[in-house]
Amino acid sequence: MAPAARPSVEIHGLAKRYLLFGRRRDRALALLGRTGGLHTVTALEGIDLEVRPGEAVGVVGENGSGKSTLLRLVAGISTPDAGTIRVAQPVAPILELGLGFHPEFTGRENALLYGSLLGIPEDAMAERLDDVLAFAELGEFVDRPLRTYSSGMAARLAFAVATNVDPRVLVVDEALAVGDGAFQKKCVDRMVRFKEEGRTVLFCSHAMYLVTSFCERAVWLHQGRIRSQGSSQAVVEAYETYLMQREKRQLAPGSEAPWTQATAGGRRGRLTAVRVLALDGTPAETVGPGDGFEVALAVQSLDRLSAFHAAVAIDAQDGRCIFAATTHFDGVARVTRRALAIVYLLEDTALFGGVKIVLHQAELMARRGHRVTVVSKGDRPAWFPLRTEFRRVPSFDPEHIPSADVTVATFWTTIAAAASVRSGQGVHYCQGFEAGFRHNLAEHGAILDAYRLAIPCFALAPHLATLVRERFARPARVVPPALAPYWRPAWRRRPARLPRVLIANPFEIEWKGVATGLDAVEALRARGAPCRLVRVSQWPLSEAERAVLAPEEFHHHLAPREVAVLMRLADLMLAPSWEAEGFGLPVLEAMASGLPVVASDISAFRWFAGDAAELVPFDRPDCFAAAAQDVLADASRWRSLRRAGLKAVHGFSETRIAGIAEDALYWVAEGRWRSEP
């Protein structure tokens, strides 16, 4: 028996890491070989792979999983930091568009240049030039500069050159993604011929049907490591199952990464279930030739104002559509949702974060066409531009609450009223577990009785949703607060020489931890770091607070827009709330204003702030002071926290949060809370 051919690609223990440079000076030192203390990111680790002549191997994985890095190493463009790699030569890579091309050279000149880079003598390349240009189909553009080419034309030229230089290994990284259907078929036909001639193809693509139809084997990369390898069909099925499970986790109510709301020009609905049924209504696992079947879709609108049609299509493995049906062609009315009547119950309308969150959500729902009424024992709030209907009532007795599809209780004292509405369904919007505070011990029994009422729950943060589910056995969904557009940063490069340190919330509310923040400012100054203390509160400055530390500036009862201006002028926020904190809206608003934050390491802040803030023990003023000093003394760290904060708040835009809130309200109104978590 003849010995097996030696692999064209042999990889063992391959690893690739990249240095991260925080300053230009770090990059210069790295060039001199001084890399101690620099952070690295691992792109690949522990990669073992062999590919034999005549074999095509697909490389699949999410963006950032290391696919392009692996192909660059095989192509010889990068060098590994560990392990060994042997590749039969010559190798023809088709990686980033334009790689190896000069934008000012013509297509003809670039073909000769690319060939020379692959080691093909100029006279030999000139002989093949007619075949290259004929395959590329550039027409009159062949003698025009590459910068005038479309991405598809550049891809055709790159593929034509790479496959006309007789490589033993062809490396293709998403080169077919920019081509039309005819070009893709032409390329696949040529790659098939390559395999038949005993050459090797490494093929990276997000088009799974191409991977399964062209490649015998596949490798799935996940976070720089091989998650699975084997037959292309088995690997692709495992990868697609992972993607679907990840999507389900993202769509799961109360998850830490709620689904993304559709934007203009994007998705307007989502499929919540798809079932293939036999004609007798039973599930059909397979459908044979001549068998009839039905496709049952459960479709949910993500935007009540956008009606849409649904369609079902069946494609062959090569991408050809062999069957399609739509509700439009069948004369079925477009899918949409009816507007809801929504009532929000507010115990009071004083200027507090919890009240602002509710009023903002009421406004967002009204903008989406719902009929919204805010009902409160307090006066119409002058500090918030409320445009919805407002009713002041003496009590929350049923006769004072208007009929609605959904009635939202926003404090523990309103839960019983929402649970006993005469029409529609009540829901409790938990913004903090009131029985977790110490100042109201006499009320804890009544609070727990209210929480035991069997109505669904919205929660500002996942830890609150978990508490309601596990302790009171009630279904709960996470509905975070939205950020108004006026929470935006000012352009700044570094903190001021005398930094303005801001502490928000009333001193008198114990769990807000303002006393800890004041002690931290004193400790910061004792460390030789002077600062200007700026306080923001809903209440005037008290003598008790003044006795601890008198601020240089004290602002109280500011409208939200005025607070946004104040935050843009500050250099650092201290947020020393206790674990009882429900959300901590000022921290989110500070991050949206480009204000770096040192905050307590508590559940609420870990969820939305995470690495975007410095988190320290809630009861340690010395830790707050040390972290504040480090941030204020290092302009690079200060800017890094600004950027991280601005990135973290993207998920709290009005559009996205309005979609989450609206979906949760329909979950309640349609009764799905009884069966869906």
Higher-pLDDT residue of 478 and 68 is 478
72-86, 241-255, 401-415, 433-447: range with lowest mean pLDDT: 241-255
58-62, 205-209, 368-372: range with lowest mean pLDDT: 205-209
User: Average pLDDT for residues 335-355, to the nearest whole number?
Assistant: 89
Of the candidates 574, 498, 500, 556, the residue with the CA atom closest to the CA atom of residue 533: 500
Give the rounded percent of residues in the chain with a pLDDT score beyond 90: 53
Domain with CATH 3.40.50.300 in the chain: 9-239
Q: Is residue 652 pLDDT above 60, yes or no?
A: yes
Query: CB within 8 A of 410, min separation 6: which ones?
Result: 344, 345, 346, 347, 354, 355, 358, 429, 431
Q: Domain spanning 500-652: which CATH class is it, in words?
A: alpha beta
Task: Return the percent helix, strand and coil in the chain, to nearest 5.
Answer: 40, 25, 40
pLDDT band at 257 (very low <50, low <70, confident <90, very high): very low
Task: Supply the DSSP symbol for 431.
Answer: S
322-326, 431-435, 490-494, 625-629: range with lowest mean pLDDT: 322-326
Q: SS3 of 275, please?
A: strand
Task: State the pTM of this model.
Answer: 0.56
Contact 164, 135 (CB under 8 A): yes
pLDDT for residue 322: 73
User: Angle at the Cα of 530 (from 487 to 37), degrees rounded to 5?
Assistant: 80
291, 361, 550 from 284: Cα distances, Å: 10, 44, 74
242-246, 301-305, 541-545: range with lowest mean pLDDT: 301-305
Q: Is residue 176 pLDDT above 90, yes or no?
A: no
User: Average pLDDT for residues 608-617, to the nearest whole number?
Assistant: 93
User: Average pLDDT for residues 47-65, to the nearest whole number?
Assistant: 91
Type of residue found at 187 = C
Over the stretch 560-603, which tens digit does the pLDDT of each residue have? 999 999 999 999 999 999 999 999 999 999 999 999 999 999 99
Contact 460, 611 (CB under 8 A): no
Over the stretch 201-255, which tens digit does the pLDDT of each residue have? 999 888 787 888 888 999 999 999 999 999 998 898 889 888 877 766 665 544 4
Q: What fold, for 341-478?
A: Rossmann fold (3.40.50)
pLDDT for residue 2: 44
pLDDT band at 261 (very low <50, low <70, confident <90, very high): very low
70, 166, 267, 487, 561 from 611: Cα distances, Å: 29, 50, 30, 20, 27
**CA atoms of 501 and 572, how far apart (whole Å):** 5
pLDDT for residue 34: 67
**CA atoms of 658 and 152, how far apart (whole Å):** 39
Domain with CATH 3.40.50.2000 in the chain: 341-478, 500-652
**CA atoms of 334 and 340, how far apart (whole Å):** 19
Over the stretch 7-39, which tens digit does the pLDDT of each residue have? 899 999 999 988 776 677 767 666 666 666 667
**CA atoms of 154 and 173, how far apart (whole Å):** 14
pLDDT for residue 502: 97
pLDDT for residue 629: 96
pLDDT for residue 179: 59
Contact 301, 269 (CB under 8 A): yes
pLDDT for residue 265: 38
Residue with tokens 């340190």: 501
pLDDT for residue 248: 64
Tokens for 2, please give them.
């003849």
Contact 203, 191 (CB under 8 A): yes
Taking the domain 9-239, which CATH number applies? 3.40.50.300
Q: Is residue 258 pLDDT above 60, yes or no?
A: no
